[in-house]
Structure 1
Amino acid sequence: MKPFAIAGLQLDLKPNGNFDLVVKKIRTTLVRYPWVQMVVLSELAICGAGTGTAEPMPSATEGKLAALAKELGIWLVTGSLYEKDGDDVYNTASVINPAGEVVTRYRKMYPFYPYEVGVAAGTDICVFDVPDVGRFGLSICYDMWFPETSRAMVLEGAEVIIHPTLTNTADRDVECTMVRATAAQQQCYVVDVNGAGEQAYGRSVIAGPDGEVIHAASDDEEIIVVELDLDRVTRSRERGVLGLGQPLKSFRDAAHTFPDPQASKALKALGPLEVPTRHR
Protein backbone atom coordinates (compact mmCIF):
# COMPACT_ATOMS: atom_id res chain seq x y z
CA MET A 1 0.00 0.00 0.00
CA LYS A 2 1.25 3.47 -0.95
CA PRO A 3 -1.07 5.84 0.98
CA PHE A 4 -1.48 9.58 0.45
CA ALA A 5 -3.98 11.70 2.39
CA ILE A 6 -5.81 14.52 0.64
CA ALA A 7 -8.34 17.03 1.98
CA GLY A 8 -10.63 18.68 -0.56
CA LEU A 9 -12.17 21.89 0.79
CA GLN A 10 -15.70 22.41 -0.55
CA LEU A 11 -16.26 25.71 1.22
CA ASP A 12 -19.23 28.05 1.67
CA LEU A 13 -17.77 30.87 -0.40
CA LYS A 14 -18.76 34.43 -1.24
CA PRO A 15 -18.35 35.66 -4.82
CA ASN A 16 -14.95 37.12 -3.86
CA GLY A 17 -12.75 38.15 -0.94
CA ASN A 18 -12.41 34.70 0.62
CA PHE A 19 -8.72 34.70 1.54
CA ASP A 20 -9.12 34.88 5.32
CA LEU A 21 -11.88 32.27 5.29
CA VAL A 22 -9.78 29.88 3.20
CA VAL A 23 -6.78 30.23 5.52
CA LYS A 24 -8.99 29.62 8.55
CA LYS A 25 -10.50 26.51 7.00
CA ILE A 26 -7.10 25.11 6.02
CA ARG A 27 -5.87 25.57 9.58
CA THR A 28 -9.04 24.00 11.00
CA THR A 29 -8.66 21.03 8.68
CA LEU A 30 -5.09 20.38 9.82
CA VAL A 31 -6.10 20.61 13.49
CA ARG A 32 -8.83 18.03 12.98
CA TYR A 33 -6.86 15.87 10.53
CA PRO A 34 -3.15 16.41 11.27
CA TRP A 35 -2.24 13.46 9.04
CA VAL A 36 -3.44 15.19 5.85
CA GLN A 37 -0.61 15.63 3.34
CA MET A 38 -2.29 17.71 0.63
CA VAL A 39 -5.06 20.31 0.69
CA VAL A 40 -6.96 21.10 -2.51
CA LEU A 41 -9.09 24.24 -2.95
CA SER A 42 -11.83 24.75 -5.53
CA GLU A 43 -11.30 26.81 -8.68
CA LEU A 44 -11.08 30.58 -7.99
CA ALA A 45 -12.01 29.91 -4.36
CA ILE A 46 -10.23 33.00 -3.08
CA CYS A 47 -10.82 35.62 -5.76
CA GLY A 48 -14.05 34.53 -7.43
CA ALA A 49 -14.82 34.74 -11.13
CA GLY A 50 -13.97 38.42 -11.70
CA THR A 51 -10.74 38.91 -13.64
CA GLY A 52 -10.15 42.29 -12.01
CA THR A 53 -8.20 40.54 -9.25
CA ALA A 54 -5.54 39.26 -11.68
CA GLU A 55 -1.92 39.65 -10.50
CA PRO A 56 1.42 38.79 -12.10
CA MET A 57 2.91 35.62 -10.67
CA PRO A 58 4.57 35.09 -8.32
CA SER A 59 1.90 37.19 -6.62
CA ALA A 60 1.36 38.43 -3.07
CA THR A 61 -1.58 36.04 -2.64
CA GLU A 62 0.40 33.06 -3.88
CA GLY A 63 3.25 34.04 -1.56
CA LYS A 64 0.99 34.07 1.49
CA LEU A 65 -0.35 30.64 0.58
CA ALA A 66 3.20 29.36 0.13
CA ALA A 67 4.11 30.61 3.60
CA LEU A 68 1.06 28.83 5.02
CA ALA A 69 1.97 25.57 3.28
CA LYS A 70 5.48 25.77 4.73
CA GLU A 71 4.18 26.54 8.22
CA LEU A 72 1.80 23.58 8.15
CA GLY A 73 4.12 21.25 6.24
CA ILE A 74 1.57 20.38 3.53
CA TRP A 75 1.18 20.24 -0.21
CA LEU A 76 -1.29 22.92 -1.26
CA VAL A 77 -3.14 23.19 -4.56
CA THR A 78 -4.46 26.76 -4.64
CA GLY A 79 -7.61 25.99 -6.64
CA SER A 80 -6.73 28.80 -9.02
CA LEU A 81 -6.12 32.53 -9.15
CA TYR A 82 -6.29 34.91 -12.06
CA GLU A 83 -2.79 35.57 -13.39
CA LYS A 84 -1.85 38.74 -15.30
CA ASP A 85 0.84 38.25 -17.93
CA GLY A 86 1.28 41.26 -20.18
CA ASP A 87 -2.06 41.90 -21.85
CA ASP A 88 -3.32 38.40 -21.09
CA VAL A 89 -5.17 36.97 -18.09
CA TYR A 90 -4.96 33.26 -17.30
CA ASN A 91 -6.87 31.05 -14.87
CA THR A 92 -3.86 29.58 -13.07
CA ALA A 93 -3.46 26.97 -10.35
CA SER A 94 -0.29 26.75 -8.29
CA VAL A 95 1.11 23.64 -6.63
CA ILE A 96 3.07 24.39 -3.47
CA ASN A 97 5.17 21.81 -1.63
CA PRO A 98 5.67 21.46 2.15
CA ALA A 99 8.81 23.60 1.95
CA GLY A 100 6.68 26.49 0.67
CA GLU A 101 8.06 26.23 -2.87
CA VAL A 102 5.89 26.63 -5.96
CA VAL A 103 6.80 23.46 -7.85
CA THR A 104 4.57 24.18 -10.85
CA ARG A 105 1.79 26.40 -12.17
CA TYR A 106 -0.93 25.33 -14.55
CA ARG A 107 -2.88 27.62 -16.88
CA LYS A 108 -6.35 26.32 -17.67
CA MET A 109 -6.22 25.01 -21.23
CA TYR A 110 -9.94 25.25 -21.92
CA PRO A 111 -11.52 28.40 -20.47
CA PHE A 112 -15.31 28.10 -20.44
CA TYR A 113 -15.79 29.86 -23.77
CA PRO A 114 -17.86 31.71 -24.78
CA TYR A 115 -18.74 32.55 -21.15
CA GLU A 116 -15.33 32.92 -19.47
CA VAL A 117 -14.73 36.20 -21.26
CA GLY A 118 -11.29 37.79 -21.22
CA VAL A 119 -9.38 34.68 -20.13
CA ALA A 120 -6.61 33.32 -22.33
CA ALA A 121 -6.06 29.60 -22.82
CA GLY A 122 -2.98 27.81 -21.54
CA THR A 123 -1.09 25.54 -23.91
CA ASP A 124 0.51 22.85 -21.75
CA ILE A 125 -0.68 20.01 -19.56
CA CYS A 126 0.63 19.81 -16.01
CA VAL A 127 2.13 16.84 -14.17
CA PHE A 128 4.26 16.93 -11.04
CA ASP A 129 5.88 14.43 -8.70
CA VAL A 130 5.22 14.00 -4.99
CA PRO A 131 8.49 12.39 -3.89
CA ASP A 132 8.20 8.80 -2.65
CA VAL A 133 4.47 8.83 -3.50
CA GLY A 134 3.78 9.17 -7.22
CA ARG A 135 2.98 11.41 -10.14
CA PHE A 136 0.02 13.78 -10.13
CA GLY A 137 -1.75 15.64 -12.91
CA LEU A 138 -3.61 18.94 -12.60
CA SER A 139 -6.52 20.28 -14.64
CA ILE A 140 -9.21 22.90 -14.03
CA CYS A 141 -12.98 22.67 -14.42
CA TYR A 142 -13.94 22.74 -18.14
CA ASP A 143 -10.70 20.92 -19.05
CA MET A 144 -12.40 17.70 -17.96
CA TRP A 145 -14.87 17.96 -20.86
CA PHE A 146 -11.94 17.23 -23.17
CA PRO A 147 -10.75 13.66 -22.49
CA GLU A 148 -7.58 14.36 -24.45
CA THR A 149 -6.32 16.42 -21.49
CA SER A 150 -6.61 13.59 -18.95
CA ARG A 151 -5.20 11.05 -21.42
CA ALA A 152 -2.22 13.34 -22.09
CA MET A 153 -1.48 13.58 -18.35
CA VAL A 154 -1.73 9.82 -17.96
CA LEU A 155 0.63 9.30 -20.89
CA GLU A 156 3.10 11.39 -18.87
CA GLY A 157 2.63 9.04 -15.91
CA ALA A 158 -0.11 10.72 -13.85
CA GLU A 159 -1.68 8.38 -11.29
CA VAL A 160 -3.89 11.01 -9.62
CA ILE A 161 -5.64 13.90 -11.37
CA ILE A 162 -6.36 16.89 -9.14
CA HIS A 163 -9.29 18.83 -10.54
CA PRO A 164 -10.43 22.10 -8.92
CA THR A 165 -13.72 23.30 -10.38
CA LEU A 166 -16.26 26.11 -10.08
CA THR A 167 -19.70 25.10 -11.30
CA ASN A 168 -22.95 26.85 -10.42
CA THR A 169 -24.90 25.74 -13.47
CA ALA A 170 -27.27 22.94 -14.50
CA ASP A 171 -24.45 20.81 -15.93
CA ARG A 172 -23.03 19.84 -12.54
CA ASP A 173 -24.73 16.46 -12.73
CA VAL A 174 -23.03 15.82 -16.08
CA GLU A 175 -19.66 16.75 -14.59
CA CYS A 176 -20.12 14.35 -11.69
CA THR A 177 -20.62 11.57 -14.23
CA MET A 178 -17.50 12.67 -16.09
CA VAL A 179 -15.38 12.36 -12.94
CA ARG A 180 -16.22 8.69 -12.64
CA ALA A 181 -15.83 8.08 -16.38
CA THR A 182 -12.42 9.79 -16.43
CA ALA A 183 -11.18 7.70 -13.50
CA ALA A 184 -12.24 4.47 -15.24
CA GLN A 185 -10.96 5.42 -18.70
CA GLN A 186 -7.60 6.60 -17.41
CA GLN A 187 -7.39 4.03 -14.58
CA CYS A 188 -6.44 6.64 -12.01
CA TYR A 189 -7.80 8.63 -9.08
CA VAL A 190 -9.69 11.84 -9.88
CA VAL A 191 -10.09 14.38 -7.08
CA ASP A 192 -12.74 16.89 -8.19
CA VAL A 193 -13.32 19.76 -5.73
CA ASN A 194 -16.11 22.28 -6.35
CA GLY A 195 -17.01 25.33 -4.30
CA ALA A 196 -20.27 25.81 -2.40
CA GLY A 197 -22.32 28.69 -0.99
CA GLU A 198 -22.80 31.68 -3.28
CA GLN A 199 -19.98 30.59 -5.59
CA ALA A 200 -20.99 27.12 -6.70
CA TYR A 201 -23.20 24.05 -6.31
CA GLY A 202 -20.87 21.72 -4.40
CA ARG A 203 -21.24 17.99 -5.08
CA SER A 204 -17.49 17.38 -5.23
CA VAL A 205 -16.55 13.84 -6.28
CA ILE A 206 -13.56 11.60 -5.71
CA ALA A 207 -13.35 8.49 -7.89
CA GLY A 208 -10.90 5.59 -8.01
CA PRO A 209 -9.11 3.61 -10.73
CA ASP A 210 -11.85 1.00 -11.01
CA GLY A 211 -14.42 3.74 -11.67
CA GLU A 212 -15.75 3.57 -8.14
CA VAL A 213 -17.04 6.65 -6.29
CA ILE A 214 -14.97 7.03 -3.13
CA HIS A 215 -16.81 10.12 -1.94
CA ALA A 216 -19.72 12.16 -3.30
CA ALA A 217 -20.29 15.38 -1.38
CA SER A 218 -23.55 17.20 -0.72
CA ASP A 219 -24.18 20.73 -1.99
CA ASP A 220 -23.26 22.27 1.39
CA GLU A 221 -19.86 23.06 2.87
CA GLU A 222 -17.86 19.90 3.43
CA ILE A 223 -14.28 19.01 4.28
CA ILE A 224 -13.59 15.86 2.27
CA VAL A 225 -10.72 13.78 3.62
CA VAL A 226 -9.57 10.62 1.86
CA GLU A 227 -6.51 8.40 1.89
CA LEU A 228 -5.60 7.24 -1.60
CA ASP A 229 -3.58 4.10 -2.28
CA LEU A 230 -1.48 4.64 -5.39
CA ASP A 231 -0.57 0.94 -5.55
CA ARG A 232 -4.19 0.38 -6.59
CA VAL A 233 -3.55 2.45 -9.71
CA THR A 234 -0.67 0.21 -10.71
CA ARG A 235 -2.73 -2.91 -10.04
CA SER A 236 -5.70 -1.64 -12.05
CA ARG A 237 -3.49 -0.72 -14.99
CA GLU A 238 -1.76 -4.10 -14.93
CA ARG A 239 -4.83 -6.30 -14.37
CA GLY A 240 -7.67 -4.20 -15.79
CA VAL A 241 -10.66 -2.29 -14.42
CA LEU A 242 -12.33 -4.73 -12.02
CA GLY A 243 -10.01 -7.35 -13.50
CA LEU A 244 -11.58 -6.84 -16.94
CA GLY A 245 -10.90 -4.12 -19.53
CA GLN A 246 -7.34 -2.79 -19.84
CA PRO A 247 -7.92 0.48 -21.75
CA LEU A 248 -4.44 1.96 -21.34
CA LYS A 249 -2.74 -1.16 -22.70
CA SER A 250 -5.22 -1.32 -25.58
CA PHE A 251 -4.64 2.34 -26.40
CA ARG A 252 -0.87 1.76 -26.30
CA ASP A 253 -1.03 -1.25 -28.59
CA ALA A 254 -3.52 0.09 -31.18
CA ALA A 255 -2.22 0.42 -34.74
CA HIS A 256 -4.48 3.31 -35.78
CA THR A 257 -4.40 7.09 -35.33
CA PHE A 258 -7.23 9.62 -35.07
CA PRO A 259 -8.11 12.52 -37.41
CA ASP A 260 -7.07 16.11 -36.75
CA PRO A 261 -10.18 17.89 -35.35
CA GLN A 262 -9.23 21.15 -37.08
CA ALA A 263 -9.50 19.36 -40.43
CA SER A 264 -12.97 17.98 -39.68
CA LYS A 265 -15.68 19.24 -42.08
CA ALA A 266 -18.33 18.08 -39.61
CA LEU A 267 -16.88 20.26 -36.82
CA LYS A 268 -16.40 23.24 -39.12
CA ALA A 269 -20.09 23.04 -40.02
CA LEU A 270 -21.09 23.69 -36.40
CA GLY A 271 -20.49 27.41 -36.77
CA PRO A 272 -18.73 29.91 -34.48
CA LEU A 273 -18.21 29.53 -30.72
CA GLU A 274 -20.74 32.02 -29.31
CA VAL A 275 -23.37 32.39 -26.61
CA PRO A 276 -26.77 31.05 -27.77
CA THR A 277 -29.45 33.68 -28.33
CA ARG A 278 -33.08 33.49 -27.29
CA HIS A 279 -34.48 32.78 -30.73
CA ARG A 280 -31.72 30.68 -32.20
Structure 2
Amino acid sequence: MSRHLRLALVQAPAESLDDFAAGLRARMKSPNAAQLVVYPELHLCSLGADRMTEEEYYAAYAEPLDGPRGARLAELAREHGVWLVPGTVLERADDGRVYNTAVVYGPDGALVATYRKIFTWRPYEPMCVGREFVVFDIPGTGRVGLSICYDSWYPEVTRHLAWMGAELVVNVVQTATAGRAQEIPVVQANAIVNQVWVASVNGASPTAQGRSLLVDPEGHTQVAAVGTEDATLLSVVDFDRVAATRKFGTAGDSWPWDFFKADDTPLELPLYNGRIDPATWRPAISPETPAALLPEGPVVHRRPAPEGDPA
Protein backbone atom coordinates (compact mmCIF):
# COMPACT_ATOMS: atom_id res chain seq x y z
CA MET A 1 0.00 0.00 0.00
CA SER A 2 1.44 3.36 -1.03
CA ARG A 3 2.04 6.04 1.57
CA HIS A 4 0.66 9.39 0.45
CA LEU A 5 0.03 12.58 2.42
CA ARG A 6 -1.96 15.58 1.24
CA LEU A 7 0.08 18.60 2.31
CA ALA A 8 -0.93 22.27 2.52
CA LEU A 9 1.80 24.90 2.83
CA VAL A 10 0.17 28.15 3.94
CA GLN A 11 2.20 31.16 2.79
CA ALA A 12 0.40 33.88 4.73
CA PRO A 13 1.27 37.13 6.52
CA ALA A 14 1.40 37.15 10.31
CA GLU A 15 -1.97 37.20 12.01
CA SER A 16 -3.69 37.08 15.37
CA LEU A 17 -4.88 33.81 16.85
CA ASP A 18 -8.49 34.77 16.14
CA ASP A 19 -7.75 35.51 12.48
CA PHE A 20 -5.69 32.34 12.27
CA ALA A 21 -8.62 30.27 13.53
CA ALA A 22 -11.02 31.88 11.06
CA GLY A 23 -8.56 31.48 8.19
CA LEU A 24 -7.89 27.82 8.99
CA ARG A 25 -11.62 27.10 9.02
CA ALA A 26 -11.99 28.79 5.62
CA ARG A 27 -9.06 26.90 4.12
CA MET A 28 -10.25 23.54 5.41
CA LYS A 29 -13.71 24.11 3.87
CA SER A 30 -12.20 24.83 0.47
CA PRO A 31 -10.31 22.67 -2.03
CA ASN A 32 -7.23 23.50 0.07
CA ALA A 33 -8.19 20.94 2.73
CA ALA A 34 -5.26 18.71 3.62
CA GLN A 35 -4.02 16.14 6.14
CA LEU A 36 -0.90 18.09 7.20
CA VAL A 37 -1.19 21.88 7.33
CA VAL A 38 1.94 24.00 7.81
CA TYR A 39 2.27 27.72 8.55
CA PRO A 40 5.39 29.96 8.63
CA GLU A 41 7.79 30.63 11.50
CA LEU A 42 6.48 32.90 14.29
CA HIS A 43 3.23 33.20 12.36
CA LEU A 44 1.25 33.90 15.54
CA CYS A 45 3.99 35.89 17.28
CA SER A 46 4.91 38.68 14.88
CA LEU A 47 2.17 41.30 14.80
CA GLY A 48 3.59 44.54 16.20
CA ALA A 49 6.93 42.95 17.03
CA ASP A 50 8.86 45.59 15.08
CA ARG A 51 7.57 48.25 17.47
CA MET A 52 8.32 46.37 20.71
CA THR A 53 11.32 46.08 22.95
CA GLU A 54 12.52 42.57 23.70
CA GLU A 55 10.83 42.73 27.08
CA GLU A 56 7.54 43.90 25.56
CA TYR A 57 7.75 41.24 22.86
CA TYR A 58 8.20 38.44 25.34
CA ALA A 59 5.44 39.83 27.55
CA ALA A 60 3.06 39.89 24.59
CA TYR A 61 3.77 36.47 23.12
CA ALA A 62 5.84 34.15 25.32
CA GLU A 63 3.86 31.55 27.25
CA PRO A 64 4.15 27.89 28.25
CA LEU A 65 3.23 25.36 25.57
CA ASP A 66 0.35 24.16 27.75
CA GLY A 67 -0.98 27.71 28.15
CA PRO A 68 -4.13 29.24 26.61
CA ARG A 69 -2.63 29.54 23.13
CA GLY A 70 -1.60 25.89 23.13
CA ALA A 71 -5.03 24.80 24.28
CA ARG A 72 -6.68 26.69 21.46
CA LEU A 73 -4.31 25.33 18.82
CA ALA A 74 -4.97 21.82 20.07
CA GLU A 75 -8.71 22.40 19.76
CA LEU A 76 -8.32 23.69 16.19
CA ALA A 77 -6.36 20.59 15.16
CA ARG A 78 -9.02 18.40 16.75
CA GLU A 79 -11.87 20.39 15.16
CA HIS A 80 -10.49 19.90 11.66
CA GLY A 81 -8.96 16.47 12.18
CA VAL A 82 -5.58 17.55 10.78
CA TRP A 83 -1.91 17.36 11.63
CA LEU A 84 -1.28 21.03 12.35
CA VAL A 85 2.03 22.89 12.37
CA PRO A 86 0.97 26.48 13.17
CA GLY A 87 4.51 27.70 12.54
CA THR A 88 6.55 28.41 15.65
CA VAL A 89 5.62 30.08 18.91
CA LEU A 90 7.50 31.84 21.67
CA GLU A 91 7.76 29.21 24.38
CA ARG A 92 8.40 30.31 27.95
CA ALA A 93 9.99 27.36 29.70
CA ASP A 94 9.64 26.50 33.37
CA ASP A 95 12.95 28.23 34.12
CA GLY A 96 11.77 31.44 32.45
CA ARG A 97 13.87 31.08 29.32
CA VAL A 98 12.21 31.85 25.98
CA TYR A 99 12.62 29.66 22.89
CA ASN A 100 11.48 29.85 19.27
CA THR A 101 9.64 26.53 19.20
CA ALA A 102 7.91 24.61 16.42
CA VAL A 103 4.83 22.73 17.63
CA VAL A 104 2.90 19.89 16.01
CA TYR A 105 -0.63 18.88 16.97
CA GLY A 106 -2.24 15.62 15.92
CA PRO A 107 -5.79 15.17 14.61
CA ASP A 108 -6.88 14.29 18.14
CA GLY A 109 -5.51 17.57 19.49
CA ALA A 110 -2.49 16.02 21.21
CA LEU A 111 0.80 17.92 21.16
CA VAL A 112 2.88 15.26 19.39
CA ALA A 113 6.17 17.10 18.82
CA THR A 114 8.01 20.26 19.84
CA TYR A 115 11.31 21.51 18.47
CA ARG A 116 13.35 24.43 19.80
CA LYS A 117 15.27 26.25 17.07
CA ILE A 118 18.96 25.40 17.25
CA PHE A 119 20.44 27.95 14.86
CA THR A 120 18.77 31.22 15.78
CA TRP A 121 19.47 34.11 13.41
CA ARG A 122 22.08 35.87 15.51
CA PRO A 123 22.47 38.69 16.39
CA TYR A 124 18.89 39.56 15.46
CA GLU A 125 17.06 36.78 17.33
CA PRO A 126 17.53 36.96 21.11
CA MET A 127 15.79 33.67 21.93
CA CYS A 128 17.60 30.82 23.65
CA VAL A 129 18.82 27.98 21.45
CA GLY A 130 17.65 24.38 21.48
CA ARG A 131 19.93 21.36 21.53
CA GLU A 132 17.86 18.40 20.28
CA PHE A 133 16.82 17.21 16.83
CA VAL A 134 13.18 16.20 16.53
CA VAL A 135 11.24 13.79 14.31
CA PHE A 136 7.71 12.44 14.68
CA ASP A 137 5.68 9.68 13.05
CA ILE A 138 2.39 9.97 11.21
CA PRO A 139 1.00 6.45 11.71
CA GLY A 140 0.46 4.55 8.51
CA THR A 141 2.29 7.20 6.49
CA GLY A 142 5.85 8.10 7.47
CA ARG A 143 8.30 10.11 9.55
CA VAL A 144 8.66 13.90 9.57
CA GLY A 145 11.55 16.03 10.82
CA LEU A 146 11.39 19.65 11.98
CA SER A 147 13.69 22.57 11.26
CA ILE A 148 13.26 26.31 11.54
CA CYS A 149 14.43 28.90 9.03
CA TYR A 150 18.20 29.46 9.52
CA ASP A 151 18.62 25.79 10.52
CA SER A 152 18.54 25.02 6.80
CA TRP A 153 21.84 26.84 6.32
CA TYR A 154 23.55 24.23 8.50
CA PRO A 155 23.61 20.91 6.61
CA GLU A 156 24.18 19.01 9.85
CA VAL A 157 20.54 19.64 10.82
CA THR A 158 18.85 18.13 7.78
CA ARG A 159 21.39 15.29 7.61
CA HIS A 160 20.79 14.39 11.24
CA LEU A 161 17.00 14.43 10.72
CA ALA A 162 17.43 12.15 7.69
CA TRP A 163 19.67 9.84 9.73
CA MET A 164 16.92 9.69 12.35
CA GLY A 165 14.56 8.45 9.63
CA ALA A 166 12.81 11.63 8.50
CA GLU A 167 11.39 11.23 5.01
CA LEU A 168 9.93 14.73 4.92
CA VAL A 169 11.66 17.70 6.56
CA VAL A 170 9.35 20.61 7.34
CA ASN A 171 11.32 23.87 7.44
CA VAL A 172 9.17 26.78 8.65
CA VAL A 173 10.55 30.18 7.71
CA GLN A 174 10.06 33.90 8.21
CA THR A 175 12.61 35.49 5.88
CA ALA A 176 11.82 39.11 5.13
CA THR A 177 15.17 39.85 3.48
CA ALA A 178 16.79 39.33 0.09
CA GLY A 179 18.39 36.21 1.58
CA ARG A 180 15.34 34.22 0.51
CA ALA A 181 16.98 33.94 -2.92
CA GLN A 182 19.83 31.94 -1.38
CA GLU A 183 17.51 29.77 0.71
CA ILE A 184 15.85 28.29 -2.38
CA PRO A 185 18.94 26.40 -3.66
CA VAL A 186 19.86 25.51 -0.07
CA VAL A 187 16.47 23.78 0.29
CA GLN A 188 17.03 21.89 -2.96
CA ALA A 189 20.54 20.89 -1.92
CA ASN A 190 19.35 19.56 1.45
CA ALA A 191 16.76 17.44 -0.35
CA ILE A 192 19.24 16.11 -2.91
CA VAL A 193 22.14 15.19 -0.64
CA ASN A 194 19.88 13.50 1.93
CA GLN A 195 17.34 12.03 -0.51
CA VAL A 196 14.35 13.38 1.43
CA TRP A 197 11.36 15.60 0.78
CA VAL A 198 11.85 19.18 2.05
CA ALA A 199 9.02 21.68 2.51
CA SER A 200 10.09 25.27 3.11
CA VAL A 201 7.17 27.50 4.16
CA ASN A 202 7.86 31.24 4.29
CA GLY A 203 5.54 34.06 5.30
CA ALA A 204 3.76 36.27 2.77
CA SER A 205 4.13 40.02 2.28
CA PRO A 206 4.33 42.27 4.23
CA THR A 207 5.65 39.85 6.88
CA ALA A 208 8.16 38.04 4.67
CA GLN A 209 9.34 37.39 1.13
CA GLY A 210 7.31 34.29 0.29
CA ARG A 211 8.62 31.89 -2.38
CA SER A 212 7.59 28.81 -0.41
CA LEU A 213 8.27 25.46 -2.05
CA LEU A 214 8.20 21.68 -1.77
CA VAL A 215 11.16 19.70 -3.15
CA ASP A 216 11.19 15.95 -3.77
CA PRO A 217 14.00 13.51 -2.82
CA GLU A 218 15.77 14.07 -6.14
CA GLY A 219 15.70 17.86 -5.91
CA HIS A 220 12.78 18.57 -8.24
CA THR A 221 10.41 21.34 -7.17
CA GLN A 222 6.91 19.87 -6.87
CA VAL A 223 5.07 23.09 -6.08
CA ALA A 224 6.24 26.64 -5.45
CA ALA A 225 5.01 30.19 -4.92
CA VAL A 226 6.74 32.48 -7.39
CA GLY A 227 5.96 35.63 -5.43
CA THR A 228 5.19 37.04 -1.99
CA GLU A 229 1.39 36.85 -2.13
CA ASP A 230 -0.86 35.07 0.35
CA ALA A 231 -1.19 31.58 -1.08
CA THR A 232 -1.91 28.00 -0.08
CA LEU A 233 0.29 25.49 -1.88
CA LEU A 234 -1.12 21.99 -2.19
CA SER A 235 0.73 18.84 -3.06
CA VAL A 236 0.77 15.12 -2.34
CA VAL A 237 3.89 13.72 -0.70
CA ASP A 238 4.68 10.13 -1.69
CA PHE A 239 6.81 8.85 1.19
CA ASP A 240 7.80 5.76 -0.77
CA ARG A 241 9.75 8.04 -3.13
CA VAL A 242 12.41 8.32 -0.41
CA ALA A 243 13.10 4.61 -0.18
CA ALA A 244 12.82 4.22 -3.96
CA THR A 245 15.32 7.02 -4.60
CA ARG A 246 17.77 5.46 -2.17
CA LYS A 247 17.30 2.00 -3.63
CA PHE A 248 17.51 2.91 -7.32
CA GLY A 249 19.67 6.04 -6.99
CA THR A 250 19.12 9.77 -7.46
CA ALA A 251 18.66 10.16 -11.23
CA GLY A 252 19.46 6.45 -11.27
CA ASP A 253 23.16 6.99 -10.58
CA SER A 254 23.87 8.25 -7.05
CA TRP A 255 23.60 6.35 -3.75
CA PRO A 256 25.11 8.61 -1.01
CA TRP A 257 23.71 6.56 1.88
CA ASP A 258 25.25 3.38 0.41
CA PHE A 259 28.75 4.74 -0.10
CA PHE A 260 30.57 2.90 2.69
CA LYS A 261 31.48 -0.79 2.67
CA ALA A 262 31.52 -2.96 5.78
CA ASP A 263 35.31 -3.19 5.83
CA ASP A 264 35.95 0.55 5.30
CA THR A 265 37.80 2.19 8.16
CA PRO A 266 36.07 5.05 9.98
CA LEU A 267 36.54 8.50 8.44
CA GLU A 268 37.94 10.97 10.95
CA LEU A 269 36.12 14.31 11.12
CA PRO A 270 38.40 16.73 12.99
CA LEU A 271 35.91 19.56 12.54
CA TYR A 272 33.52 17.70 14.84
CA ASN A 273 36.13 15.93 16.94
CA GLY A 274 34.38 12.79 15.72
CA ARG A 275 34.05 10.42 12.78
CA ILE A 276 31.81 8.71 10.28
CA ASP A 277 31.60 5.04 11.20
CA PRO A 278 30.55 2.91 8.20
CA ALA A 279 28.64 0.64 10.61
CA THR A 280 26.25 3.46 11.55
CA TRP A 281 26.23 5.59 8.41
CA ARG A 282 22.93 4.44 6.97
CA PRO A 283 19.77 6.24 8.14
CA ALA A 284 16.88 4.81 10.08
CA ILE A 285 14.01 3.55 7.94
CA SER A 286 10.43 4.43 8.74
CA PRO A 287 8.47 1.49 10.17
CA GLU A 288 5.94 2.13 7.39
CA THR A 289 8.41 1.46 4.54
CA PRO A 290 7.41 -1.55 2.40
CA ALA A 291 9.82 -4.48 2.61
CA ALA A 292 10.35 -4.41 -1.15
CA LEU A 293 11.93 -0.96 -0.87
CA LEU A 294 14.31 -1.77 1.97
CA PRO A 295 18.00 -1.52 0.99
CA GLU A 296 20.15 -4.58 0.72
CA GLY A 297 22.91 -5.28 3.23
CA PRO A 298 23.40 -3.84 6.74
CA VAL A 299 20.94 -1.12 7.61
CA VAL A 300 19.77 0.73 10.67
CA HIS A 301 16.07 0.39 10.03
CA ARG A 302 12.64 0.52 11.62
CA ARG A 303 14.02 2.40 14.59
CA PRO A 304 11.18 4.01 16.56
CA ALA A 305 10.94 7.76 17.00
CA PRO A 306 12.26 9.14 20.31
CA GLU A 307 9.87 8.68 23.20
CA GLY A 308 8.78 11.39 25.61
CA ASP A 309 8.91 15.16 25.14
CA PRO A 310 11.45 15.69 22.32
CA ALA A 311 12.10 19.29 23.34
Answer yes or no: same fold by TM over 0.5: yes
2:151 is aligned, of 137, 143, 149, to 143
> Contact 1:8 / 1:193 at 8 angstroms: preserved in 2?
yes
Structure 1 residue 33, shift from structure 2 partner: 2.9
Correspondence 1:5 to 2:21: no
Within a 5 Å distance, the mapping from 1:245-264 to structure 2 comes to: 245-250=254-259, 255-261=266-272
Correspondence 1:75 to 2:86: no
Once the two structures are overlaid, the 10-residue window that deviates more, 61-70 or 242-251, is 242-251
Where does residue 42 of structure 2 map in the other structure? 44
Q: 1:258 to 1:252 in 2, by over 3 A?
A: farther
Correspondence 1:112 to 2:121: yes
Structure 1 residue 129, shift from structure 2 partner: 0.3
Structure 1 residue 34, shift from structure 2 partner: 6.7
TM-score, L = length of structure 1: 0.88
Q: 1:257 to 1:23 in 2, by over 3 A?
A: farther
2:234 is aligned, of 225, 230, 237, to 225
State the distance in 1 between where 2:124 and 2:193 align. 28
Once the two structures are overlaid, the 10-residue window that deviates more, 245-254 or 163-172, is 245-254
Where does residue 239 of structure 1 map in the other structure? 248
Correspondence 1:99 to 2:108: yes
> Contact 2:176 / 2:209 at 8 angstroms: preserved in 1?
yes
> Contact 1:26 / 1:39 at 8 angstroms: preserved in 2?
no
What is the alpha-carbon root mean square deviation over aligned residues? 1.8
Structure 1 residue 250, shift from structure 2 partner: 2.0
TM-score, L = length of structure 2: 0.79
Where does residue 299 of structure 2 map in the other structure? none
Structure 1 residue 208, shift from structure 2 partner: 0.3
Structure 1 residue 237, shift from structure 2 partner: 1.1
Q: 1:208 to 1:122 in 2, by over 3 A?
A: same
Alignment: residue pair count: 259
2:71 is aligned, of 49, 63, 73, to 63
**Structure 1 alignment gaps of length 5 or more:** 264-280
Structure 1 residue identity aligned to 2:10: L
State the distance in 2 between where 1:20 and 1:242 align. 46
